Structure 1
């Protein structure tokens, strides 16, 4: 059994049950090995969790870069709006997105500092990526790029929290209520 298979199972379990609801025994059973075999790849559950967190964050950064690169020609309004709706769709189908949301907003208490350091670093990079993608649209914007980017991330966060706790319908309701107001506020 490889570390990749263990991480894949652990990602699914952490996404579904959170840190506290996931045991190494559950992961071992899922991949068909004995719990002790996990220790040949990972020192403990914390190391496995933090390894997955780092990989998920790296994948999310790559997704963001790819999304903005592939949608470079879209008008800004569509590009920003579709990123929000795509995030909801990704949450519905991808364990990595569920893992990031669940464990980002409710990290294991004993790993809180490490998780939050990783997430704040991630959000700083997200902010830079958004700013870079706003630069060519600066004439369309009513505020400085940094303010637009930070407010967009704030909108994104609020939508993700609604998705995590309220589900798709509440996410959609919040998006519908906020998007036009947000767009009118930032655009000239």
Structure 2
């Protein structure tokens, strides 16, 4: 049995149950092998966990890069809103998204420092990517591009917490309420100028 199959099964288990709620025995059962067979590919649960984490971060970062380099026909408003809206669907359908969200907010205590170092590197990469995208749109904003990028990430964080702890319905409720305030806050003066022209 390949390491790939072990990682696929482990990803789903870690995504649904977190580190502490996942055992190597359960992963082995899902794959259809004995627990001892996992050690032929991974030194233990920690190594398997971090291998998956690194692959998930690459996958999620690629998704973000692909999203913001695509959908050229969407307006800035629609593109930023659609990303947030799609995140709720992606969380439900992509184990990598669920894994990263659950484990970023609820990391295993004995791996906390190592885990958060990788998560912060990922978040720094997201902030840079967003800044680069928004920089090309700077004339649409009444505040600095840096403020837009940071506040957008704060909005993402808020929505992720709602999704993780409260579910899709409350996620949608928070999304629509907070989005309108966010958008008006970063563009209101520009909109008023256009109305007065």
Band the TM-score falls in, shorter-chain normalisation: over 0.9
Q: Which residue of 2 aligns with 1:90?
A: 90
Q: Which residue of 1 aligns with 2:195?
A: none
Cα distance in structure 1, aligned partners of 2:38 and 2:72: 43
Q: Which residue of 2 aligns with 1:5?
A: 5
Pairing of 1:127-142 with structure 2 (within 5 A): 127-142=127-142
Between Structure 1 and Structure 2, how many residues are aligned?
188
Secondary structure class of the residue paired with 1:70: coil
> Could you tell me how far 1:147 is from its partner in structure 2?
1.1
Cα distance in structure 2, aligned partners of 1:24 and 1:105: 22
Q: CA RMSD in A?
A: 0.8
- Could you report, residue by residue, the CA deviation over 1:99-144 in whole angstroms, capped at 9, with x for unpaired residues? 1111110000001001100110000000011111112210001111
Q: Which residue of 1 aligns with 2:110?
A: 110
Q: Which residue of 1 aligns with 2:159?
A: 159
- Scaled by the length of structure 2, what TM-score is found? 0.94
> Could you tell me how far 1:92 is from its partner in structure 2?
1.1
Secondary structure class of the residue paired with 2:69: helix
The unaligned stretches of length 5 or more in structure 1 are none
Pairing of 1:47-126 with structure 2 (within 5 A): 47-126=47-126
Cα distance in structure 2, aligned partners of 1:72 and 1:56: 26
Cα distance in structure 2, aligned partners of 1:135 and 1:177: 26
> Could you tell me how far 1:71 is from its partner in structure 2?
2.0
Q: Kindly report structure 1 stretches of 4+ aligned residues shifted beyond 4 Å.
A: none
Q: Which residue of 2 aligns with 1:43?
A: 43
Cα distance in structure 2, aligned partners of 1:179 and 1:117: 29
Cα distance in structure 2, aligned partners of 1:72 and 1:147: 23
Cα distance in structure 2, aligned partners of 1:80 and 1:105: 23
Cα distance in structure 2, aligned partners of 1:63 and 1:77: 19
127-136 or 2-11, which deviates more: 127-136
- Scaled by the length of structure 1, what TM-score is found? 0.98
Secondary structure class of the residue paired with 2:136: helix
> Could you tell me how far 1:146 is from its partner in structure 2?
1.1
